Structure 1
């Protein structure tokens, strides 16, 4: 049986020699759970050896930001569970703001058959999801398009937000920590998220468990309390507790095929 230290050394070697290393590939290679691999990657990240990405790791020095297209298939079941829970919070007649990202895009997909909603978004994937939904009025935030995230950012999008308020705001995240908030690859994106959070009565951050406690980039936005973190059943209980201690409400969304390592019961707590 491979020891934990030997496994981590091999993960580092693979990332250094092969570049991108996925959680799924490593889980199969070492015959351990995805949660175990995520903990290995988190430790290697803390040691400065690897940079965490969506669904895997890169050797330090490689560009770690994945495109929206790459992210859509990663942690698919976890994102679906999060999206279904979030969709259940949305009520007819509400005006909601949907951020960019694959998890929030899954929420847009879950809302397609609703009626009586107004959805505002800076994200092309959400526009595409809702373009043919007759019961949903869609408003788009314009601005400069970031091709990697497929979202509009910048002064035009920020100015449009100043004229709007929302019943609920759903934000995505490259990573999220209890002390510093949402981590992103781009300062313009964090600036827009900060403004989004100010315009909503209820604010939710949709982030699968692999993003909790991670610091892959250097652009941050700290959200004013209260806000709700929505994550999946593989969330590390220690990370969840850190968020709760910081005053963040935490919801664990249960999916049909959620993992069992570190599993938490579905709950919402402050």
Structure 2
């Protein structure tokens, strides 16, 4: 009986780690009515099995959704991303300064911005830079910083220092996932920290995400979305998801 109880408890701890991320030894001990030493043994066994990764004082699940490379994501929802990018580019006016985040959807905007006159683009990733490298009428500023090879975006202290010296009329942000309650989801905290700074420096904020990303929680790093921001997605979006975002003051544009 004791063995079965231990197995059931460890199974539930693993489930909690997957859904909630972090759980302290003290909280788990109180929840299951066992000693902290028992919980530590459970965590050690789950760690040895590769089910969770340990942090100081708690547990965190190993990510069941490894981050895809930019090349892998390029063809996912291609038509939807292109439609989103085209609509977003139509919001840009001559004479503006805009920020283009890293990622395939935002990067696709570059193709539609090439002929906008007197435009300044601050590029946070290689996709936008490549699309605009020979666009005669567009002034391109590179955010700089440490290049993340998976996302081909710039992050780190140098990128953050650059953002402190600029502002922009509009910011177009990508996301690994988006939820109405937590905001923009990314694989690492330095990505979400950078997005928070982008939001602070922008007059208008647009989040570009195809419908499959809405409501998903693949990682544990988040950047809140301010009320008044615009979420741009495609026609396959679930109406319930649209309502969740609109309820917290985020406008949803379906294209």
- TM-score, normalised with respect to structure 1: 0.70
- Per-residue Cα deviation, 1:89-120 (whole angstroms, up to 9, x for no partner): 00000000000000001111211222210000
Tell me, yes or no, if the aligned pair for 2:233 and 2:253 is still in contact at 8 Å: yes
- Which residue matches 1:107? 109
- Which residue matches 2:177? 175
Residue 222 (str. 1) matches residue 224 (str. 2)? yes
Tell me, yes or no, if the aligned pair for 2:63 and 2:219 is still in contact at 8 Å: no
Structure 2, unpaired ranges of 5+ = 1-61
- Which residue matches 1:81? 83
- Which residue matches 1:263? none
Pick one of 154, 157, 168 that aligns with 1:155. 157
Aligned counterparts, 1:21-60, within 5 A: none
SS of 2:140's equivalent? strand
Pick one of 122, 144, 147 that aligns with 1:145. 147
**CA–CA distance in structure 2, aligned partners of residues 120 and 234 of structure 1:** 30
SS of 1:74's equivalent? coil
- Which residue matches 2:241? 239
- Which residue matches 2:125? 123
TM-superposed CA distance for 1:63, in Å, is: 5.1
**CA–CA distance in structure 2, aligned partners of residues 63 and 241 of structure 1:** 26
- Which residue matches 2:212? 210
Tell me, yes or no, if the aligned pair for 2:101 and 2:173 is still in contact at 8 Å: yes
SS of 1:230's equivalent? strand
SS of 1:118's equivalent? strand
SS of 1:196's equivalent? helix
**CA–CA distance in structure 2, aligned partners of residues 213 and 100 of structure 1:** 21
**CA–CA distance in structure 2, aligned partners of residues 97 and 214 of structure 1:** 25
TM-superposed CA distance for 1:62, in Å, is: 5.0
TM-superposed CA distance for 1:142, in Å, is: 1.1
TM-superposed CA distance for 1:122, in Å, is: 1.6
- Which residue matches 1:53? none
- TM-score, normalised with respect to structure 2: 0.74
TM-superposed CA distance for 1:223, in Å, is: 2.1
**CA–CA distance in structure 2, aligned partners of residues 240 and 61 of structure 1:** 27
**CA–CA distance in structure 2, aligned partners of residues 91 and 207 of structure 1:** 22
Question: Closer, same or farther in 2 for the Cα pair 1:61/1:200, shift >3 Å?
Answer: closer
Structure 1, unpaired ranges of 5+ = 1-59, 254-270
- Which residue matches 1:52? none
